Amino acid sequence: ERLIEEERKRREEEEKKKQDEALKNSVTGSQIVAFARKYVGNPYVWGGNGPVGFDCSGLTKYAYAAAGKSIPRTVRTQYNACDELIYSYDALQPGDLVFFHTEGWNSHVGIYIGGGEFVHAGSPSTGIVRASLYNTYWRSVFFCGGRFY
């Protein structure tokens, strides 16, 4: 009986840690989303790290840093550093990264903002924009989401 009680307490502690982590991530996620939305309309700059202009991974790195989370600089290194990869739209949470195979490999990243939308530094002609994951093009090149704990 003592072992059963210890196991129950251990599980309760693990569940509390998960809930605390989820709360922390939701706060951080909302900060990341708020930051990304603030830059919609700004220019795309190849290799740009902000705040005057960003490329796709420069925007994600800068947004995460603004929320107190350091992530790598490039699309591939951001993908490789994720603590969890998410392959379903339904499991995405605001603040998650979304990765796309736009050149036959994992070559583009944005920030999921909720409601099936993401913010990304698209190109010099579009700048930083909101887009829908359900758009025919983005749906066809979506690879996965990425989450940091």
d(CA 107, CA 129): 17
The continuous run of DSSP H or E covering 110 comes out as strand 106-114
Strands of the sheet containing 127-132, edge to edge, are 84-86, 142-147, 97-101, 106-114, 117-123, 127-132
Catalytic residue among 56, 82, 101, 144: 56
d(CA 67, CA 91): 21
- The answer to whether residue 144 is catalytic is no
- The answer to whether residue 120 is catalytic is yes
Q: Give the 3-state secondary structure of residue 106.
A: strand
Structure tokens belonging to residue 101: 């195979």
Catalytic residue among 82, 101, 120, 144: 120
Structure tokens belonging to residue 72: 């790598």
- The answer to whether residue 101 is catalytic is no
First to last CA, the chain: 35
- Active-site annotation, residues: 56, 108, 120
